[in-house]
Structure 1
Amino acid sequence: MARRSAMAGVGVGLGLAAAGAAAAAGGLAARRRSLESLPYDGTGPFAHRPDKVMQVRASDGVDLHVEIDEPEGVTPDRPTVVLSHGFTLSLVGWVLQRKALIKAGYRIVTWDQRSHGMSGRSDAEHCTIEQIGDDLAAVIAAAAPEGPLVLVGHSMGGMTTVSFCGRHPEIVRERVLAIALLGTSIGGEGLVTLGMGPALDILLLRFGPGLLVNIGARQRLWDGLRKAGRSVEAAMVKHYGFGPDAPPAIIRLSADMIFSTRLDAVAAFMPHLHALDLVDEAVAIHGVEVLVMNGDQDEITPPQHSRYIVQHLPHAEHELLPETGHMLQLEQPARVNQQLLDLIDRGMRAGLPHPRTGATA
């Protein structure tokens, strides 16, 4: 039987599934404990230690956690690859791409978006697509101030990347060689659809944010429920995030990221994801090498979202991965890594500067 193709919203289906399972953790200390428990400490297939860790101050004062990998022998003509993660995730989800890119000799910048991972907590007013586009600009200014760039975004990280391009087109023209948009959307139709029917979806969108904030305030209760419901977590994440054959280890890794995200962050971003419209911002990407990838069983940003991107960026390379869900960079790392390396090669061959094709006055 074909899997249901509901537009569950960029990580929101996962985030609300978390709330429904009573599994999300709130509070900085609990989030850090959960993140530190991930197999990311020097052992196991997901182990990785960066060469440098820094805090970057965003325009509104939020500290953004940034990690830098600097393999030996990197030359100034080789681009820095900047990886932006998705909603309810963290930079941990890029570990397999980091390994491949380091092996290929590229400098890498990864970061946690505001109120995610190890970054500081944001107020709701600044949990917007515009702000996270500016956050990416701040990260680039601090961690990769010179030289060519390749920008890679997954899910909400793809929206962050497109927002950045629209708000900082001069940097795109002068420095960006290539862009990869993985399992993401530029809008065009309501993203936050939970597959429960229009009436119930509207009620959840209207009252869900307040509900999530109230749940997040009861930290001890929900931490206890989370301990009792890890199998429920994994089942929900597998349903919304992966294809049928995803290994349990990456499902668990993803669940730990998702259920460590603050519920008030989920609540704050939800309305902006629902109202997303980045078509005009995508204009700034014209003239840059672009890769669009999506899983054919993605229930968060289904394939019609990637096809809509390609309609507005017809020069993009487009690949739909079979039997793959939303977390394609973990589920199909070999294919994603090879496509990223090929994209970087195309970008380096094309070079700079970019023509102002499609630019608006």
Structure 2
Amino acid sequence: MPTPSILTVSAPDGTRLRVQVYAAATATGGPTGSLPGAPPGSPPGSSPTVVLAHGWTLTHASWLPVVDRLTEQGLRVVTWDQRGHGRSGHIRGPATVRSLGDDLAAVLAVVAPDGPLVLGGHSMGGMTVMAYAGLHPREFTDRVTGVVLVSTVADSLGQRLPVRTGRVMKLVARLPRIRAGRFVTLAGQRRLLFGPEADAAHVVLTREQVAATTLPTMGRFYQAIAEHDEAPALSHLDGIPTVVLVGDRDRLTPPRDSERIAELVPHAQLRLLPGRGHMLAYEATDEVVDAFRTVLGTPA
């Protein structure tokens, strides 16, 4: 994996976002220098930039197995830590999914101000992509040439979340800015986020990311996810190659959530992965990479 360029982008409200830009490891498109995924007739170097949004209580690191594979295939890849997560700044103002959509717009304005884009979102990151489409529809339809939505939900999640958990998270949202730490266990992460054949190392990596998340971020974005409804925004995916991935053992965003997205985006390919849970970039790296190859129009 190439070493990323690291930069800081300011969100509209001043929140500082930590961004990683991974250059393509190789240019495999032949002597002209064109890269995989470029539309027919595109000039050299016009391959889409792949931009990946991570999920709730995670960091950009949750995408690294996929980043490694995509850069090997000659693609430029951008990740960032969502506000309040990883090395990005703490939350300023309300925590909403739509603020994440505006954060994505701010990142793109700095690291990919022009040219085609392929957007990928996992869990809350999928909601981020939807929010961006709804808030910035012209930019989205003009530039996005492919979308991969992984283990995510468009609407109505809050209606199913446990009332007791919601009350606890409202309390957690008001606690001092300390990390979740020992409250996050390996056993709990395995049970909640992974299928039965999970690699122990992947569980450890996930637990480290979640444990490093502050309690206010955890609580405030839990509420944001509960209130999230970006179903209308999915109309902007019309005609854009889209793949929706979900594990049949996903306890957080079960298959019915992805089926709902496929209903709202009728041309989307819905792929149900047997035996897999919520963390598909770890559990099903090959399948996630194949989804990107599909929307990029590159051969397997």
* TM-score where L is the length of structure 1: 0.75
Specify which of 68, 72, 85 is matched with residue 103 of structure 1: 72
Partner of 1:198: none
Q: In 1, distance between residues paired with 2:237 and 2:9?
A: 25
2:253, 2:278 within 8 Å by CA — same for their partners in 1? Answer: yes
1:66, 1:110 within 8 Å by CA — same for their partners in 2? Answer: yes
Partner of 2:118: 150
Q: In 1, distance between residues paired with 2:282 and 2:167?
A: 32
- Note the residue ranges of structure 1 that are not aligned, 5 or more in a row: 1-47, 194-200, 349-361
Q: Would you say 1:67 and 2:20 are equivalent positions?
A: yes
Q: In 1, distance between residues paired with 2:235 and 2:156?
A: 14
2:149, 2:243 within 8 Å by CA — same for their partners in 1? Answer: yes
Listed one character per residue, the Cα deviations across residues 135-168 of structure 1 (whole Å, up to 9, x for unaligned) are 0000011011111000000000000000000111
- Note the residue ranges of structure 2 that are not aligned, 5 or more in a row: 28-34, 36-43
Q: CA deviation at 1:211?
A: 3.5
Residues 218, 112 of structure 1: CA spacing in aligned structure 2 closer, same or farther, 3 A cutoff?
Answer: closer
Partner of 1:325: 277
Partner of 2:243: 291
Listed one character per residue, the Cα deviations across residues 299-339 of structure 1 (whole Å, up to 9, x for unaligned) are 01000000000110010011000000000110111121122
Structure with the bigger RCO (C-alpha within 8 Å, sep 6+) is: 1
- The residue type paired with residue 17 of structure 2 is L
Q: Percent identity?
A: 34
2:102, 2:132 within 8 Å by CA — same for their partners in 1? Answer: yes
Partner of 2:169: 208
Q: In 2, distance between residues paired with 1:331 and 1:189?
A: 23
Partner of 1:246: 198
Q: CA deviation at 1:65?
A: 0.5
Q: CA deviation at 1:212?
A: 5.0
- The residue type paired with residue 59 of structure 1 is P
Specify which of 82, 88, 93 is matched with residue 51 of structure 2: 82
Q: CA deviation at 1:275?
A: 1.8
Residues 192, 50 of structure 1: CA spacing in aligned structure 2 closer, same or farther, 3 A cutoff?
Answer: farther
- After superposition, the CA RMSD in angstroms is 1.9
Tell which deviates more after alignment, 62-71 or 203-212: 203-212
Partner of 1:94: 63
* TM-score where L is the length of structure 2: 0.89
Q: In 1, distance between residues paired with 2:119 and 2:172?
A: 35
Q: In 1, distance between residues paired with 2:153 and 2:22?
A: 28
Listed one character per residue, the Cα deviations across residues 213-242 of structure 1 (whole Å, up to 9, x for unaligned) are 33x4566xx75xx2xx7xx71100000100
Q: In 2, distance between residues paired with 1:142 and 1:65?
A: 12
> Helix, strand or coil: the match of 2:133?
helix
- The residue type paired with residue 84 of structure 1 is A
Q: In 2, distance between residues paired with 1:207 and 1:94?
A: 29
1:76, 1:147 within 8 Å by CA — same for their partners in 2? Answer: no
**Superposition map of 1:170-189 within 5 A:** 170-189=138-157
Listed one character per residue, the Cα deviations across residues 6-39 of structure 1 (whole Å, up to 9, x for unaligned) are xxxxxxxxxxxxxxxxxxxxxxxxxxxxxxxxxx
**Superposition map of 1:218-297 within 5 A:** 226=182, 233-297=185-249
Residues 55, 211 of structure 1: CA spacing in aligned structure 2 closer, same or farther, 3 A cutoff?
Answer: closer
Whichever structure has more helix as a proportion of its residues is 1
2:148, 2:242 within 8 Å by CA — same for their partners in 1? Answer: yes
